[in-house]
Structure formats: C-alpha cells, structure tokens
Structure 1
C-alpha cells in the first residue's frame, strides 16, 4: 500500500503542474499496468479508481473495458460502473446485472440507482428498490433514506417521502433537507415549515437547500411573518449571502406582496445575483402590474451582461398584461421572437391570449391559440379564453371554450363553473342546469373558496360563511359595522355572476360573508398589522367582483391599505381604489 500513497502523491503533483486540468486517466492506467506486482485486492482497488477517472474524462468505453478486466468485481466496482451511467437507463441495467452476479448493493449503490429512477420517473423500479432497501435493512439508514425521500418527492408522492422520513430512527441534516425540499416542491408548504422548525429544534444546522426550501414554502403561503423569521435565521447563519438563498428571499418577499423588501434583498446581491434572481425580482413587480420597474430591471440585467431567457420575457409580458396593456404585451411577444430570436413557450402564448382576451379582442386571442407554432392549446390556455369570454359576456365563445376544456380535462371544475356563471348572468338557467348535471354525472367538485391571514406566525383560514373560528362573534359584528359604513359611502352589491363559493339562489346577505371578508374582519378584530401597515390576505381563487368592489370602499372606511393575493395577481386597495384598475 506504500505505492498507493506514492501513486496518489504523483497524481496531486501532476495536477499542480498542469493547473486545474485533470490527469489523463490513460497515463494512470499505464502506471497501473507497469506496476503489476499487486495482489488481487490491491489491483482491484486501483482499477476501481480508474473506472471513476475514465467516466470523469467522458471515456465511457474505456471505463467499461477496465471494469471487465477486474478479476472479481466487488460492490465498489459495480457502484463505480453504475455511477458512471447515473440518470440513464444503463445504470438500471447494470444494477440488475450486479444482483445477478450476485453482489449485494450498499447504501451508495442504492442512492445512485434511486436518483436514476427519480430522473427517469421510473416509479415501479423505484418502489421495488424500496422493497430491497427494507430487505437489506437499509431503508432507515441516513444515506439510502435520503435517496428514498428524494425519489418519492421527484415522483410527486410527498406523503410517501414523509413516511420514509418519519420511520427513520436516526436522522441527519441531509435527511431533514431532503424532506423539507421535497415537501416544498410538492406544494406542502405547512409541512415543509414544520419539518424545518423540527430540524432546528433537534440541533441540526441548516443548509442552503433547507433554507431556500423553507423560503419557497413561505412564498407559496404568502406568509410574511414566516418569511421574515427564516430570513433572520439566514442572516444569523450567514446563509443570506449565498446566491440561492438570496434568490429565494427575493422570491419569498415578492410573493408575499412586499416588493420593496424583495428589492432591498436584491440590491444587497447585485454582483452575485444570477439570472434566476433577476427573474424573481422582475416577476415580483410583474404580479403587481408594475411595468416600469420590470422594464428598468430588464435593461439593467442586460447591462450586467446577462442574456434574458423565457422567464425574463414572461415577466415583462405579465407586467403589461396585468396593467391591461394588450398592445404592449403583443409588442414584446414579437420583440422576443424577432429581435432576441427566442422561440416562445406555450406560457408566452397563454399570457398573450389572456391579455388580448381581457381587452375584449376575443377572436384575435382565439386565432392565436389555434395557430401556435409547435404547440396545441392546453388547459391553461382554454381556461384563459373561457374566463375572458365569460367576463365579456360572449356566450357563444364561452360555450365553445367550456366544451374544449371539458374535452381536455373533464375534471376541471372551472370548465363548468365559469360557464355557468356566464349563462346565469344572461338568464340561461337551462344551460346552467345542464352544466350542473354534467358535474354531478362526472363527479366533479368545485374547488372551495379559501382565504387566509397570518397573525403571530399562525395562519387563520376561512371558508365562505365560516362560523368555526373562536372569534366568530366579533368577526361577524365587525362585518356588520363595515357593511353599514360602506353602504353610506355608496357601495352597491354586484350580483351579475354566480360565484365559486356559493351555489344557486345566492342572496345579497350571503355576499357579505365571503371568505376574504371574514379574513379581513379577523385582521381588524385581532389587530393583525399595526397602524400604518397593510392588512395582507391570500385567496386560493379569483377574488369576486363584489368583494373587489367592497374592499375598495372598506379601504376608505378603515383608512388602511389592504393587500389581497388571489390566483391571478396582487390587489392593493387604498383610499377607495385598487392598483389593478378593476382589470384582473
């Protein structure tokens, strides 16, 4: 083994001499051949190393040849071969050959193959690997356990990932990071934040990945208090200086509607912020319809030498769309194609169709949807056309878009509900009943309207007409007071559509108890935000016309800014108006 030390030393000297370039593995191979006075175990050790060197140099055929020269391949030999083919089908083939050899895998082998299954979306193979892990008593080990969590997360089975984690008797920081990232990526933000809190309470240090995942969860919840706490933790640990965490902070504050805070974080990282960070900042402004700030950032980004990508253009188009500027949205779409030579994604087409549809140019929007290059309209595009057609009371096009969306996704509740709202608005109750019957036959359930508001790190969730909250009496009393005051200011209920949250026969009284109003009343009763600070509410659906109108009046009554993030954009109500200009 003395030669092994000399061998490694020689490699280090060679690397020093040629700078950062790696030593040619063929030279190392020649040395191994020359020094043939090794026993089988030592010879196999050097060949195993050679396999890795050849793969790193992209000399795949040579790596395989070396593997076949090994007298008795052990688990390290097979793992090296499988690792070289990671994320490709040959890795699975070699793994099966290894089992037939027979050689039992270790944690590293299983982790590589599980990663490959995740990359190839091979659920059945991965589940069989999980079974093998259990048989070999490796499923609860940190290394293979983390790989299982990653696999189930990537295959969109977050509950299975969480089950693997919960069954691990001993966990480390990597295991915690894996489950936090997996849950955040699979829209389980509350669970992700719970595990993040448990990780810190257990004494494990956070990583760039766990912190950025926690911030992603905060962004999905629009949880400003949680975002601020994770930010403080990142500052204490020094992770806030990392570009990944910095980008997640920008995105987190932006999706909480706090664009000024997002910009402060962004301005702290101008020299290290990558394209993803610039896009996150532009997207934050775009959701507010702040086209000027988006264009300013777009120009600054180019001055910094960054080349805009699809997300950059999407932010610009979204900003103009949210500002109600269809012509400018179209102009940037063409500019992206002609000046920047960037081929549009279907998301760009959908944004353009939405912008044109909102402005009433429905036939033009439909023509673009039907003549896209490379793409066929997806559910998002038909949904955008359906929504804008219903908004402009174009019943024929609404009917057509509803049918197209039903054909593409029969379980999409919006295909029925939006059309029913439009039909109800023009008195076509027979067609409303047809849609209701279809929903019943196909067992389609309407997505329930939810709104939530954060207070002292706790999220308070409300349904329409909800009476489950501990402060229900105070909430409803506050709503009565607000109603009396806004009626005196001239508020008139908007009853031209049948809303998501309630069924047929909705009365004016029921309008006043929609989920976002209950959340607002709780915010006022509990004094969620100090005087001078905005009240922030999140809603899982589009805010209805009547609530939108009511909130404008309420903002005058309470003399407070009210921010509502709905499924489409941010609404900032202040002094009787909204930054969306009644266009959303």
Structure 2
C-alpha cells in the first residue's frame, strides 16, 4: 500500500509539475502539499535571521567548536545576535537541529536561509532519509536550479531502496550518470544497495563492476547484495576477492559473508571467517558475533554457536538472543529454547515476534504440535504481540502434521492474512504424510494458483498417486507438467572437503572419482542389508522393473555425497559427516542413514530444505518428523 502511494505521489509531482511548483517558493509549497502527517508544519514559529547585507562578526568555526553549548537553540540565539550571514554556519546549525531531534526548528531555519546551497539542501534531504519527503525536497532543489553532489544522490539512493521506488531510482541513476556522480565509492555503495533492495543483484554487480574506484565499503555493499538475494556463493567469492585486492574487512562485509556461509551450511567457510574476525579484532563486535551465532546455528553446530554467544553475552542484543534460540529451534531442542527465553527475560529483554517464532519452530521440530496453539495465545495475551503469517504457518503445519487436516485448513482460510504458497505447501506435505490423496490434490491446486511453476506440488501428488496405483492420474499430471513447461527441480547434495564444496546429483557420474564413489556406496548398501535394511518404495517409480527401482533409490545425491565423504577421508574418525541437500530428504535415504551410522559407528548430519537430521546409533533426532 505504502509503495503504491509513494509511486503515485512521485509520478504526480515529477511527471506533471504544475505552474504552482515552478513559481511558488519551496517553503510555501511544503504547506501546500502537506499530508495529515505533516500538518504540524503549519505551526512553525518564525525565527529572525539577519539580512543578507550584514557582515558576519564571528567565524562559523567559533560557534561550531564551542563545546560549552549543547543545545542548538542557544547557538542559534548567539547567531542572531551576531547578525551573521555565513551560509556555512547556517548549514552546520541546520545539521545540529536535525541531530538534536528538533525538526521544527530546523525547517523554520531552512525556509529563512536567504540562498540555500547544495550543502543546505543535502542536509535537509539527509534528515528526511527513508521517507517520501526526502524525494520531495530533492525535486524542489532541482527546481531551484541547484544540482546534487555525490552525497546528495547517495542519500537519495538509500531512500529509494528503503521505499523500493524503482522508477524514481532509475531516473536518479540516469541523472547521476549525466552529472558524472556515479564513480564516487560513496555513490557506488548506495547504488549497489538500492539495486539489491529492489531484488536486482545482477544490476547491482554491474554498477560495482563498472566502478573504477572501489573501496572496502563498495565491496561490503556487493557482498551483502549477493547474500540478501540468494547468491550465496557469489557473496563468498566477492569477500575473498576483496581480501585478495588488499582491502580491509568491514563489519558489514564480515557479517554478510557469514550470512552467505550460513545459508550454504558451509561450516568450514564459517570457521575460516571466524578466524579472520578474531585476527582483525572484530569477533567481539555485536554485529559480527550475532552473525557468528547465526552462522554456527544454521550449519548445525549449536555448541560452537553457544560458545560465541556466551563469550559475547555482556553486549549481546535481542537479535543475538533470537539467533541463538533459532539455532536450537532448528534442532528441535525446545527445552534449550525455553531456558534461553527465560534467561533473556531475566536480563530485561522484551521478547519480540522472532523470539516466539523460534519457540514455535522448536515445538514443531520436536513434534510437540499441541503446544503451538498455547504459545501463540500466550504471545497475544501476555505480550501483546500480533502473530505474523510465519507464526500462523507454524500453527497450520503443526495441526496438519498432527492429523487435524480439516482444522488446519480452516485456520488457513480464516486467519487475518491471505495464505501464501508456503501455507498450502505445508498442508500438502501433511496430506502426503497421512496419505490423504484427494485432499493433497486440492492443496496442490492452491499452491499452483499462487506459484504455477512450482514443481514440488506436482512431484508430491505424482508420488502419492503412483503409490496408490492410479497410473491414469499420474499420466494426466505429467501431461499437465509438460503443457505448462514445468520441469522437476533436480535434487542436489553437497559436502565440504578442505574448504572445497563437492556437489552431487542423483545418478551423477561427472565427479572425477565416480567409479570409486559408486563402488564404496555398493559396499555400504550390502552391509546395511545384512543388518535388515529394506528399501522404502513410497517415493520411487512404481511402473518400472525392480532392478531399476533399486538403482534409482541407491544412487540418490545424498547417498553419493556420504560415500564420497567416507572415501576421501574428509572428516577425522569420531567427527560427524555433514551433508546439505536442497530438497527434502526422502524416506529411503532417511532409513539408509540410520543403518549406516550403525555400520560406520559414526554420526551423520544432513540438513535438508526443512530441518537438520542427526543420525547416530540407528536413530535420528527428528523422530521421523520432517
């Protein structure tokens, strides 16, 4: 809603400026266009400023450096008495007013400055950064024949990114190119961030790549641009390039690279960046330490996350507490989450929506579905917080997984949010778990209405229909996929060996050690069959021969990754093997890894699209809930 209002407002004043805009002084136009949120502008009290022809009796630096005067109004009184017209002094005073949270006085001063220059206008624009007023003031500046400098456009790009006003930002970029303002590192950094927030990482990289004068700030901007737009490998690559080019790391580049490593579950990368942060003395910074807690939590090493958390506990903020709770929540460790929650309150922190989201996630992953509704009510009644769509998705998922499909669907339809694809996808997965084929088809249609190219909806329903022997329905579903040009997303798994990531796909023979990998996997499968392993065919093809079905199950990407990890000795004895998968782990692989831990006498950790699975001694911590 805000985005539409912003775009309409900009379009109105930018594309069709009226005669009033060109002929009326800017201070009168402010009241003319005032919205309900700016009616207070009409109550400004005028402050007298000396006439233009009066010579200043004091230098601006004298007032600027007078540390005895902290209130800018006192400084202003001295300026009035001095009868000065020094524009630099007025600009400094204007900034002091804004920094002192006295916008009324600042704007009163601004409208009486005889000839505001670009510094004056930039101060006004900067003070209103992140709001529509910043763009309004910029247009007024242009109509007063004053051109921006690099700091002006940098602040405006920041505002455009915050408001996601892409059209205005593109026009501003064009103007900046004409005025040769795009080569300054300060402008480059803000422009990269603007494209990043508009979800255009390729355009952000183009701006960065064409910049002749890069610095560590512009590198930090592109690292975070990639990290926030799901280009995690590129983010790590740019962080490494920044170091190779001799630029010092910043708080934002380190935290951005840690975010990328966390999303990839790249534990070794996380540890490398952690070591780098220790060397340069940033490990105690609250932003970096919070990113480390989040990184170790998302890579499944909650013990390391807890150590970082405890080492920085004295200055850890609410975001850090939530990150630590989220790490435990991914493991389904509700007791640890609850203890942290109580400790957090004991230290005076007030829980927010993310705190409760961690609690609800931990309850779901622990299989404690009935408690989710209780904590949602506690969140609303005891803490006065309104649940978001993510909280309701947790509730719907829990109820559906508990077998209450009708109740879960009713909540999805009556909650105060429009259900998104994630809500219906959660219901679809629950239907698959309980074998409700007809209900699954209904949920799949709802998913496809919102995301027509979602292959998972087709695949889940196709597997259920094939398990039920409804081959005509399977053929019809495959024809629908073909007509809509929907391709099944390939399952991929990867394992990190000495800082290098090795990626595998089902039936993959592209790896240089493929022959050895398949041989090792065959040995493992023979060993677990001796222990009583029986293939689970629920999610495999049913209209092919048994030998092909067996091969299709044996050569899943996660099995190949584990075989390679054992073959190359990537992990010392006694340490767990860590595998990451881009999709949900199938039932057969889940069962296979239980048996493999008994044969190998070591732990296997798999992070799939839903959660972490820790296999040890024939048991998984997920309790077969995923």
Place the TM-score, normalised by the shorter chain, in its bin: over 0.9
The match for 2:439 is: 397
RMSD: 1.9
The match for 1:18 is: none
Counterpart of 1:148 (choices 191, 195, 199) is: 191
| Residue 107 of structure 1 pairs with residue 146 of structure 2 | no
The match for 2:478 is: 436
| Residue 52 of structure 1 pairs with residue 108 of structure 2 | no
SS at match of 1:190: helix
Post-superposition shift, 1:37?
4.8
The match for 2:135 is: 92
Greater Cα shift, 507-516 or 341-350: 341-350
| Residue 32 of structure 1 pairs with residue 79 of structure 2 | yes
State whether residues 391 and 422 of structure 1, in contact with CA within 8 Å, keep that contact through their aligned partners in structure 2: no
Cα deviation 1:355-413 (Å, max 9, x = unaligned): 121222212222222222x2122111111001101111112211211111122222222
Counterpart of 1:550 (choices 592, 606, 613) is: 592
The match for 2:283 is: 240
SS at match of 2:191: helix
Counterpart of 1:330 (choices 352, 373, 387) is: 373
State whether residues 478 and 521 of structure 1, in contact with CA within 8 Å, keep that contact through their aligned partners in structure 2: yes
The match for 1:19 is: none
State whether residues 196 and 204 of structure 2, in contact with CA within 8 Å, keep that contact through their aligned partners in structure 1: yes
Cα deviation 1:499-535 (Å, max 9, x = unaligned): 8xx9x99622111111111111111111111111000
State whether residues 114 and 126 of structure 1, in contact with CA within 8 Å, keep that contact through their aligned partners in structure 2: yes
The match for 1:468 is: 510
Going from structure 1 to structure 2, the CA distance change for 1:378 and 1:505 (only over 3 Å counts) comes to farther
Q: Distance in 2 between matches of 1:200 and 1:183?
A: 17
SS at match of 2:313: coil
SS at match of 2:327: helix
| Residue 13 of structure 1 pairs with residue 81 of structure 2 | no
Going from structure 1 to structure 2, the CA distance change for 1:307 and 1:37 (only over 3 Å counts) comes to closer
Counterpart of 2:124 (choices 71, 76, 81) is: 81
Cα deviation 1:203-252 (Å, max 9, x = unaligned): 22212111111111110111111111111111111111111111111111
The match for 2:602 is: 560
Q: Distance in 1 between matches of 2:433 and 2:147?
A: 63
Greater Cα shift, 386-395 or 409-418: 409-418
The match for 1:66 is: 109
SS at match of 2:212: coil
State whether residues 64 and 89 of structure 2, in contact with CA within 8 Å, keep that contact through their aligned partners in structure 1: no
Map residues 461-500 of structure 1 onto 2, 5 A cutoff: 461-498=503-540
Q: Distance in 2 between matches of 1:295 and 1:70?
A: 58
Post-superposition shift, 1:96?
2.3
Going from structure 1 to structure 2, the CA distance change for 1:510 and 1:8 (only over 3 Å counts) comes to same
Post-superposition shift, 1:83?
1.6
Counterpart of 2:254 (choices 189, 192, 211) is: 211
The match for 1:534 is: 576
Q: Distance in 2 between matches of 1:319 and 1:430?
A: 41
Q: Distance in 1 between matches of 2:102 and 2:354?
A: 36
The match for 2:302 is: 259
Q: Distance in 2 between matches of 1:61 and 1:301?
A: 39
Post-superposition shift, 1:341?
3.1
Q: Distance in 2 between matches of 1:260 and 1:59?
A: 47
SS at match of 2:314: coil
State whether residues 320 and 328 of structure 1, in contact with CA within 8 Å, keep that contact through their aligned partners in structure 2: yes
Q: Distance in 2 between matches of 1:485 and 1:211?
A: 45
| Residue 512 of structure 1 pairs with residue 554 of structure 2 | yes
Post-superposition shift, 1:548?
0.6
The match for 2:15 is: none
SS at match of 2:68: helix
Q: Distance in 1 between matches of 2:157 and 2:80?
A: 35
Q: Distance in 1 between matches of 2:95 and 2:571?
A: 58
The match for 2:352 is: 309
Structure 2: which 5+ residue stretches go unaligned?
1-55
Structure 1 segments (4+ residues) deviating >4 Å: none
The match for 1:224 is: 267
The match for 1:116 is: 159
SS at match of 2:69: helix
The match for 2:618 is: 576
Greater Cα shift, 207-216 or 404-413: 404-413
Structure 2 length-normalised TM: 0.87
Q: Distance in 2 between matches of 1:58 and 1:286?
A: 40
State whether residues 420 and 498 of structure 1, in contact with CA within 8 Å, keep that contact through their aligned partners in structure 2: no
State whether residues 540 and 553 of structure 2, in contact with CA within 8 Å, keep that contact through their aligned partners in structure 1: no
Q: Distance in 2 between matches of 1:309 and 1:37?
A: 50
SS at match of 1:238: coil
Structure 1: which 5+ residue stretches go unaligned?
16-22
Post-superposition shift, 1:324?
1.3
Q: Distance in 1 between matches of 2:87 and 2:60?
A: 12
Going from structure 1 to structure 2, the CA distance change for 1:137 and 1:420 (only over 3 Å counts) comes to same
The match for 1:171 is: 214
The match for 2:27 is: none
The match for 1:20 is: none
Counterpart of 1:200 (choices 243, 265, 277) is: 243
Q: Distance in 2 between matches of 1:74 and 1:8?
A: 19
The match for 2:326 is: 283
Post-superposition shift, 1:321?
1.0
Structure 1 length-normalised TM: 0.93
